[in-house]
Amino acid sequence: MKKIYLLLLFITALLANDKVHTYAKNEECKVCHTTIYDEFYTSMHANSIPQKDPIHNAVWQKHPHNKKLQRYSCGKCHTPAANNLDKMLTKGQKALPESKNVTHTEGISCAYCHRIKSIELHKKTNTNMITNTPKTYFGTRKESLESPFHSIASDGNEIFKNGNVCIGCHSHKQNKFGLNVCSTNIDNQMDQANCVSCHMPQIKGSVSNLSNTKTHAFHGFSGSHFHSDMLTQYVDLSILRNIEHFYVNIDNRTSHALLLHPLRVAVLKVSVTRGAKTTPLENQVFVRVIGKDGKPAMPWTADTTIKDTMIQANEKRSIKYDFKLQKGDRVDVVLGWYLVNPKAVKKLNLENETIATEFHLFKKQSFTF
């Protein structure tokens, strides 16, 4: 009986996330891929455990899997290279994120991501399938040199080019009530753009120290925490002036909603300067609130979306201001966000964490009439 039980546990672990593999350490890539390595350490992929991310930590502290079960089920996406991933994903086991375990602190590690062979689609969360060949990495360069340290999968892997390598973790996450806590529109590839081309553009600097390529794929993964300046080109701000009022237009030319995580709040701040006087107009807030019984709730108790004013994929949103513009007026438009909804900051004990409380300026533009 015990044997059958163990076998069942083993099978559930397999189904939950492929299986546990051993990965080369990030440190091992540093000598040759120094630029890419340094960039990676400015990204959230290198900070994906609670000990390195105060916002993740705040939510994890309140999560029932921490308080009651002591099982870091988040590891499927937050520490996918963990040497005890099977425990993290198996009911009844205990496994917490550890600040002294490199396989945890490396986050979404280099070798992990570069060994993703395919993605299995599932209802609750997708699953990354990993190659069994340890030192063979997928990439997209056809003209690559041979690497003295590892092999490069000769057939390449289309998913590194079309962005599907990202959707094992980023597509969606459903809670036990069937609510999608967050989801990214993964079908919509517009104008040849995809997750990789937008978030990992080719920038100056060589792929490795052994070659001298002009560019390499940016590994800082521009997003809502860091390097958001690299994404401003995908969101246009403009003004339409009428006699009695004017409109500010936000044109989101992105294949997903402007912000994805339900903790986020985007804000549009508009002010008019006439001569020496500046008049701030009312702020506009864009947010998706999840909850239960009509009240906001944590992701593990929420069963519905109670409000959604977030700017959607490919949406052009017009906001009307009842303000009569005159010749010479200057309108300043600022679009930005709070990583944590100010209404949730106190509940999550994040009052003293600047990253959670500061306003993050994304794009600013002035229009003179």
- Among residues 13 and 263, whose Cβ is nearest to ligand HEC? 263
Map the footprint of ligand HEC across residues 210-239, applying CB under 6 A: 210-211, 213, 216-217, 219, 221-226, 228, 231, 234-235
Assess 103 for contact with ligand HEC (CB under 6 A).
no
Assess 95 for contact with ligand HEC (CB under 6 A).
no
Q: How far apart are the first and last CA of the chain?
A: 80
- DSSP summary character for residue 69: I
Interface with ligand HEC by CB under 6 A: which range of 149-157, 240-248, 267-275, 323-331? Answer: 149-157
- Among residues 168 and 272, whose Cβ is nearest to ligand HEC? 168
As given in the structure block, the two tokens for residue 239 are: 């003004």
Map the footprint of ligand HEC across residues 234-263, applying CB under 6 A: 234-235, 254-256, 258-261, 263
Q: What is the dihedral of CA 269, 271, 226, 49, to 10 degrees?
A: -30
Assess 288 for contact with ligand HEC (CB under 6 A).
no
| Cα–Cα distance, 205 to 218 (Å, whole number) | 9
Interface with ligand HEC by CB under 6 A: which range of 22-30, 278-286, 308-316, 327-335? Answer: 22-30
As given in the structure block, the two tokens for residue 171 are: 């597509």
Assess 296 for contact with ligand HEC (CB under 6 A).
no
Map the footprint of ligand HEC across residues 308-347, applying CB under 6 A: 339
Map the footprint of ligand HEC across residues 111-130, applying CB under 6 A: 111, 113-114, 125
Assess 207 for contact with ligand HEC (CB under 6 A).
yes
- Among residues 110 and 290, whose Cβ is nearest to ligand HEC? 110
Assess 134 for contact with ligand HEC (CB under 6 A).
no
Helix ranges, the chain (H):
2-17, 27-30, 34-40, 54-62, 64, 75-78, 85-88, 102-105, 110-114, 158-162, 167-170, 195-199, 342-345, 354-357
Interface with ligand HEC by CB under 6 A: which range of 192-200, 236-244, 287-295, 321-329? Answer: 192-200
